[in-house]
Each structure stands twice: as structure tokens, then as C-alpha cells.
Amino acid sequence: MPTLVVAGHGMVAHRLVEAVRAEDPSGTWHIVVLSEEPRPAYDRVALTSYVDTWDPASLALPGSDYADDSFVDLRLGELAVSVDRAAKTVTTASGAVVAYDALVLATGSRPFVPPVPGHDLPGCFVYRTIEDLDAIRAAAIDKPGRGRRSAVVIGGGLLGLEAAKALRDMGLSPHVVEMAPRLMPLQVDEGGGSLLRRLITNLDVTVHTGTSTDAIEADGSRLLAKLGNGTELDVDLVVFSAGVRPRDDLARRSGLDVGPRGGVLTDLSCRTSDPAIYAIGECAAVDGRVYGIVAPGYAMAEIVAAQLTGGAGEFPEPDTSTKLKLMGVDVASFGDAHAATEGALEVAVNDAVAGTYKKLVVTDDGKTLLGGVLVGDATEYNTLRALVGRPLPAEPGAILAPAGGGAAVGVDALPDTAQICSCNAVSKGAITNAIHEEGCDTVPKLKACTRAGTACGSCVPLLSKLLSAAGVEQSKAVCEHFPQSRAELFEIVQATRITTFSELISRYGSGSGCAICKPAVASILATLGNGHVLGGEQMTLQDTNDRYLANLQRNGTYSVVPRIPGGEITPDKLIVIGEVARDFGLYTKITGGQRIDLFGATVDQLPLIWRRLVDAGFESGHAYGKALRTVKSCVGSTWCRYGVQDSVGLAIELELRYRGLRSPHKLKSAVSGCARECAEARSKDFGIIATENGWNLYVGGNGGTAPRHADLLVSDVDTETLIRTIDRFLMFYVRTADRLQRTAPWIEEMEGGLDHLRAVIVDDSLGICEDLDAAMAKHVDNYADEWKGVLEDPEKLARFTSFVNAPGTPDPAISFRSEREQKVPVMLGVPEVRR
């Protein structure tokens, strides 16, 4: 049996092994994989997410240990150090000698560390592997009394911003230094880079562009980074993330040809100057060019696998398009993003208010798409990328800013040859064939059949659109226990007046329910006024937060958030909050929604805390529930010289009106007293901005992982009309939205979008406005504070104990330490990191 030796075990090497085994299931090749790292291949593209869990298993690639494959011999911690081409053997660092019939070099790349004086001082790191992040984490551990620690990242490209995010998530204040005049200079242009800098700066990252790092010096226990523009940064650690260089040292020692700028030189079949040796991934210079992203590496792996199993193939023109989410900011570039093609024209839309920049590069006649850049909103990336080199279905300006705010380019505009998944080179034709010929009627089936969406996942939304375009009805079932959608379940409960989950599932579902359908039904029952959320069977339906009417924190304690309508509070109530926080030893923080959050309460303390708060006139702020959170406000015409309406008064009225309204997802609102928009109303689910003539109502704004500005629904309306319109908007949303669907995607997916919504709740096109008005009036009339209800019911109170068999006993797993004169949690077994 011939032996294939693979030197390296990263993502591309794993793809090679997968491809060879898929084409050679009978095991013609015995495969030996020499892995320098102590663990099997993992998702290095998602390395930054390691900070979220500190669990290496979260990055593991499926099947990369080959535990069930007797034809693959994975040798961890075995670095290939030399190749004897004449004898066809590879020697490892441990002295093992492995004979090969074919050798594939997949040694990847190494971080580039500029020759800055002091680059090798303690506290300087690179950002490439899990071990690198573990080392950075150890150095980032808090030192008592030092205050918030800081770091500098050398390099403002993709990897540099990824490193900055990781440092910020570890609790450090990061600086980013980039020699180019803008961030991510390879991916975005000047306009996109300018917006990207503003968005990144708003996320507490300090950016220094157009300057070098001249030296790094020891400064006591810290480091001093001296920049070329004279700035000196006093930091705790330095991370070099200034790009990568191909690891071609093994090839050089073996006498193989290398490219003039590094990399193992190969032809288009990925074969090196030795016909028995191939090179793939970041160590390879295919036809003289090195590629530093995963998609071309996967293509190389497939080409080599085909040749090893009797086929043939040549490296195609690679797709170097990139779509990223950096600290919550969408960034994408595709095709000729910098308009390098002769005669290319650029069409750009820069919306500073919405925080988006979109540019298309087209041919000189404006008819063919060559490339583009998207910053802030990359929703149309997949469709536009697939159109590169093809005629545009509309004028470039109409594509960038379509009338009505909808998408101008749909999947129908894509030809069958358009590439949907660039990572795995899957075309639209292959996907539609899988739908029609292979019976793939779900996204998971398409993934399994075509491999589309199994790498970076950015094309998954397009798979759903292709299914819909092919006439495949997408299931809207809440879960396996209910075939109905959430909106259908709402109608059933409303029509039948069912008041319990058990009756609903026995009549309209199957099984005993799950963690998906139970909270959804609980929300519906609460919306329709079926008693206290912790009453009777309702209690068993709630998730952890609703079960204890408080937000569970990472150390097992809970937070307490009393409602402060509109952010207005009397001195007496402030004193009560301060006394409660002091007496129970709670950490206190002002929230972004103008409330005071009290952290660190144990389960058994919650009733004691709320007894004092309720007696002082406070009520639940519903920070734990899928309900209205806050209605934020500026001071409006009461105090501000620019204010034209009473924003505080309206905010209080709205918050008291909609408090406790259970909904598919959380709801946030704000009222600004003038067009200066100090309350940030356009980032809310429903936001109000005062005008000289009344109020403008905006709907469908969301923060979170996919920020979106709200759209104008009605303008210059009086207060009565405004409130009636909001009533209808909220009740229509509560009745028709999907489970855990926020208002922004609800409107976006609504047929007819904002125009349809306006027709329904303003023009009463469906004749349901009277019913919506009555439903909201019923909610307002029947509102009761949930915590007051708990305090008045001994049975409900009995649930609030850490240990059922030992009431009042503190949980020994919960401990605290002091920071900035407040207590913060100590996580057992986890190094302390200042956040």
C-alpha cells in the first residue's frame, strides 16, 4: 500500500485528508499526518471565538482526529524537520523517519514580527494559535490595584482587528497601530476604511494609522511602545499581528524551488519542483502567488486529492472575497475591490448616519460588476459576490440604495454558474440540482449533500433563499412538538381560550414539549393575560431568568433591575436603591437604558431585596423577560434649550403603558425631544423624535449583533395618534412575529415590508385595528407587577432558595473579590480578567 505523508495539520491539510478518503474509501493510500501542534486540526479562522469559552474543543473540526479511520495515522506533536528526496523519507523532530510515495507540504504560515527593537521582550506575543491566546490570557490576568490593563496590537489588518477584539474581550483596553493610512488596507478602500475606523473607535479601541512602531522598551513591569509619530503608549503587553509569511523552511532545506517572495513554488496542479511532492495552503506559491485565506487553500487540497486518486485538476482563478464581522461590524470585499481594472468605475454610497458604506466597481459602461466593498452592512454580500464578472440586473445606484430599502438583487438574477459557496466552490446550479434531483429540502440537507455552508457559513442565508426560489416551502414549525408557527399558535390560544401548555400540546401538538416551545407558549399565555407567570403550570414553562424574575449572571448570582420610567427618579428613590445595594453588598452600575442595575444577589436574597424596593414604590423592570425593557429619553423641552417637545413625559407615559407586555423578543424604545437625537431613538424597536409639529415614529431599529436603524412609519402626528399607532404596532408584532424574532427582521421578512405594515396599522387595510386597540387596552387595564405578586404569595416565595433542604444556606461556589470599591465575582478555576 503506498504511503501519503502530509506535513502539517491545519484546516487545509484536514481538507486534503477528507478529500482523499472521500475519493478513495477502500484505502488505496495509507495516510500519515505529521502535526506540529499537540491537538488535531481546528478552525483557525474562528480563533478569536476561543476567548468566549477558553475551550479548545469549541474550535475542533469534525472528524479531524480520524479516530474511526484505520487508513489515517495522525501523529500529534511530530514536527517534520527534514526531507530526504532521494530516499523519499521525512524525519521528524523526535527522530522518527517516515517513508513516503507522495508528500504534501501543508506547513502553513508563521506570524510576521517586524524587526522592531524590543520585539522579543517579555510581554510581547504573536496571534496565531490556541497556545498563543493562552499565553496572552495568562499575561492579561488582573493585577490588584493596577486598574484597567491595556495592550497594543501592531497591525491593523484582518488579524490585527481580530486580535484587538480578543484583547477587549479579555478585559484590556486595546490600541491598534497600522502603518497604512487606513485599517484593513488590503480589503477596503479609503471611504470604507474611514467608516471602519469610526465604528471600531466607538467600540473602545484606540486606532493609530499612518504610523510605524519604532521601538518597544521595558518600563518597570510594563512596556512602552514608541510610535513613529512621537506617540508613546504605556501598555501591559504587545501583540504582533502584522501579517504572515509562508513557512517554506522545510522546502528550502530540501532543495525545492521557492518563490521570489517566499512560498514553495508549484505549478497550477500544486506540484513542486519534485514531482513526488506537492504544496498546498499558505506555504504554497501557486504559479508564484501565495494566498493567505482558507478558500484558495481548500481548492488546492481538492486539486491534489484528485490527482492522488487518479484524477486531474488545475488551480482556478481564486475567489479572494472576504466577509467578516469584526467586533460586531460587518466588513466585506469582493472581486476588484480597489478598481484596478483599466476603465473601471466606482459607485459608492456613504451613509454616515446609518453607519454604512457601500461601493460597487463596474466596467466603463456600468453594466458589468467587477467588485465592491461593504462596511457596516454586508447583507447583500453573497448575492453581489456571485455576480462578479456578470451583467448587473439593475443600475449600480439602484442596487446600492434601492427604493423602499429592500434588496434590489435576488437569487433569481444569478446564473447557474454563479458560485454560492466560495470556500467549497459550490455553484448555484449544483445547489438547485441538489434541491430538485437529490430531494434536499432543508438547509442541513443541502449542507450534507453539497458541502455549501460548512466552512465559514456566510452563504447559509443564500441557501434558504434558493430553497424558497425553488418552491420548497420552509417549515415554520416552532419545534418538533408543534407543527404550527408561533403566530399560528397565538391565534389558536386566542381563539380557543386555552390557558395551559398541557392542554395546548395535547390538542394541537405531540410529546411533552421542550426548551424551545415551552417558553414560546409561556410568552403567548402571558400576553393574553393568563395569570402570574409563576402561577401553577406557568412556572414550569419559564426559562431560568423568568423562573426567578431576575437575570442569571456568570457566577450563579442574579441581577436586580427596578423600573425607572424614562430614566426619571426622585432623590428618595435613589437613596433607597443605594441603601439596598449597600446592605446586601451588591455591585451597582448605570445601564445604557437609564436604569440602575444591582448585581450579585443570591436566589434567597431576591425576595428580601424586592420587598424593600416594592415598599419604596419600585416595580419589576422586566430586564429578565422577553418584554418591554426601557423607554429611554433625553431631558427634552423641560430643560434643554433645543427641545421642542416633552420627551421625558412621553417616555414615562409609554413605559408605564407597555410595561410587562410579553413579546417574541425584548423590546426597547426611546424618545428624543428634538432632531439632535440624544436618546438614540432610531436604534430602537420603536423610537420617537419630536418635531415642531408633533412626533415622528420610527420602527424596526435594533442593536445587538446585527444593528439596524429604524424606518420612519408616520410623521408629525399628535400624541394621541402616536400612542394609538404604537399600540397597534406592538400588538401586531406580538401576534405575528416568529419565536425570538426581533422587530427588525420581522419587518424585513414581512411581505410588502414597511408599506404593508403602514397599511395594516395606519390605514386598517385588514380591518383588525379595532381588535388590536382592544387587546392593548386589555393589557394596560390588567397589568400587575410580577414581583409584588410573588411577595404576596407564600407558595411562590418558597421557590426562592439556593438549597431546598437547607433554606438560607449560602452557595459555597459563589465568591467575590473587591475591585474599584465594589465586589465582583470570582470564577472558580478561571483566571481573573478585568472586564
Q: Residues with Cβ < 8 Å from 76, sequence gap 6 or more? A: 35, 37, 38, 39, 40
Domain at 621-784: CATH code: 3.30.413.10
> How many alpha carbons lie under 13 Å from residue 379 in its C-beta half-sphere?
18
226 DSSP β-pair partners:
215, 232
Question: pLDDT per residue over 466-513, tens digit each?
Answer: 887 787 766 677 877 888 888 889 999 988 989 888 899 999 988 878
Q: What is the mean pLDDT of residues 816-829?
A: 68
Question: pLDDT per residue over 682-712, tens digit each?
Answer: 999 999 999 999 999 999 998 765 678 899 9
Between 409 and 613, the higher pLDDT residue:
613
DSSP 129-177: SHHHHHHHHHHHS--TTS-S-EEEEE--SHHHHHHHHHHHHTT-EEEEE
Average model confidence (pLDDT) across the chain: 87
Q: What is the mean pLDDT of residues 292-317?
A: 88
CA–CA gap between residue 550 and residue 787 (Å, rounded):
10
For the chain, give every domain's residue range.
Answer: 3-109+246-308, 124-242, 486-542, 621-784
CA–CA gap between residue 451 and residue 58 (Å, rounded):
20
Phi/psi for 244 (5° steps) reads -130, 165
Q: Residues with Cβ < 8 Å from 242, sequence gap 6 or more? A: 111, 112, 113, 114, 154, 155, 157, 160
CA–CA gap between residue 302 and residue 308 (Å, rounded):
10
* Residue 809 contacts residue 584 (beta carbons within 8 Å): no
Question: pLDDT per residue over 258-290, tens digit each?
Answer: 998 899 999 999 999 999 999 999 999 998 899
Residue 303 has pLDDT above 90, yes or no: yes
DSSP secondary structure letter of residue 506: H
Report the range out of 34-48, 316-330, 452-466 with the highest average pLDDT. 34-48
Residue 827 has pLDDT above 70, yes or no: no
pLDDT of residue 327: 66
Sheet with 237-240, edge to edge strand ranges: 124-126, 237-240, 150-154, 173-178, 206-209
Q: Which of 151-155, 316-320, 333-337, 344-348 comes out lowest in average pLDDT? A: 316-320
Residue 378 φ/ψ region, left for φ over 0, alpha for ψ in the -120 to 50 degree band, beta for the rest: alpha
Classify burial at 151, counting beta carbons within 10 Å of its beta carbon; exposed 0-12, middle 13-18, buried 19 or more: buried
pLDDT of residue 58: 83
Q: What is the mean pLDDT of residues 386-405?
A: 77
Residue 833 has pLDDT above 60, yes or no: no
> Is the full-model pTM beyond 0.85?
no
CA–CA gap between residue 533 and residue 515 (Å, rounded):
16
- From residue 831, how far is each of 139, 433, 818 by CA, in Å? 10, 51, 15
Question: pLDDT per residue over 557-614, tens digit each?
Answer: 888 999 999 889 999 999 999 999 999 999 899 988 889 999 888 888 899 999 999 9
Question: pLDDT per residue over 157-179, tens digit each?
Answer: 888 888 998 888 888 889 999 99
pLDDT of residue 403: 54
pLDDT of residue 832: 43
DSSP secondary structure letter of residue 128: S
Our separate counts of H helices and E strands in the chain read: 27, 39
296: cell is 484558495
Question: How confident is residue 145, by pLDDT bands cut at 50, 70 and 90?
Answer: very low
Residue 407 has pLDDT above 70, yes or no: no
CA–CA gap between residue 99 and residue 705 (Å, rounded):
50
DSSP secondary structure letter of residue 29: S
Of the chain, the end-to-end C-alpha distance in Å amounts to 56
Name the nearest CA neighbour of 241 among 143, 320, 166.
Answer: 166
Residue 2 has pLDDT above 90, yes or no: yes
Question: How confident is residue 126, by pLDDT bands cut at 50, 70 and 90?
Answer: very high
CATH match of 124-242 with 3.50.50.60: yes
Name the nearest CA neighbour of 152 among 210, 223, 58.
Answer: 223
- Amino acid (1-letter code) at residue 581: A
Classify burial at 711, counting beta carbons within 10 Å of its beta carbon; exposed 0-12, middle 13-18, buried 19 or more: buried
CA–CA gap between residue 453 and residue 384 (Å, rounded):
17
Angle at 728 between CA 724 and CA 729, to 5 degrees: 115
Return the number of other C-beta atoms located less than 10 Å from residue 317's C-beta: 7
Q: Choose which CATH entry (3.30.70.940, 3.50.50.60, 3.40.50.1000, 3.40.50.2300) describes domain 3-109+246-308.
A: 3.50.50.60
Three-class DSSP category at 306: helix
Classify burial at 85, counting beta carbons within 10 Å of its beta carbon; exposed 0-12, middle 13-18, buried 19 or more: middle
pLDDT of residue 831: 40
pLDDT of residue 476: 75
639: cell is 430643560
Q: Residues with Cβ < 8 Å from 454, sequence gap 6 or more? A: 423, 424, 447
CA–CA gap between residue 501 and residue 517 (Å, rounded):
9
pLDDT of residue 829: 39
CA–CA gap between residue 822 and residue 599 (Å, rounded):
10
Question: How confident is residue 804, by pLDDT bands cut at 50, 70 and 90?
Answer: very low
Alpha helices in 33-150 (DSSP H): 50-53, 130-140
Q: Residues with Cβ < 8 Å from 700, sequence gap 6 or more? A: 685, 708, 710, 711, 743, 744, 746, 747, 748, 754
Question: How confident is residue 732, by pLDDT bands cut at 50, 70 and 90?
Answer: very high
* Residue 104 contacts residue 238 (beta carbons within 8 Å): no
- From residue 289, how far is each of 50, 260, 422 by CA, in Å? 31, 10, 19
CA–CA gap between residue 828 and residue 835 (Å, rounded):
16
Name the nearest CA neighbour of 446 among 149, 412, 154, 460.
Answer: 460
Classify burial at 271, counting beta carbons within 10 Å of its beta carbon; exposed 0-12, middle 13-18, buried 19 or more: middle
CA–CA gap between residue 423 and residue 451 (Å, rounded):
9
> How many alpha carbons lie under 13 Å from residue 256 in its C-beta half-sphere?
34
pLDDT > 70: what percent of the chain? 92
Same fold, 124-242 and 621-784: no
Q: Length of the chain, please?
A: 835
Q: What is the mean pLDDT of residues 358-384?
A: 88
461: cell is 442565508
pLDDT of residue 805: 46
Host H or E run for residue 493? helix 486-496
CA–CA gap between residue 742 and residue 643 (Å, rounded):
30
pLDDT of residue 679: 92
DSSP 170-231: TT-EEEEEESSSSSSTTT--HHHHHHHHHHHHTTT-EEEES--EEEEEEETTEEEEEETTS-
Q: Residues with Cβ < 8 Å from 7, sequence gap 6 or more? A: 34, 80, 90, 103, 104, 105, 106, 107, 250
CA–CA gap between residue 464 and residue 442 (Å, rounded):
8
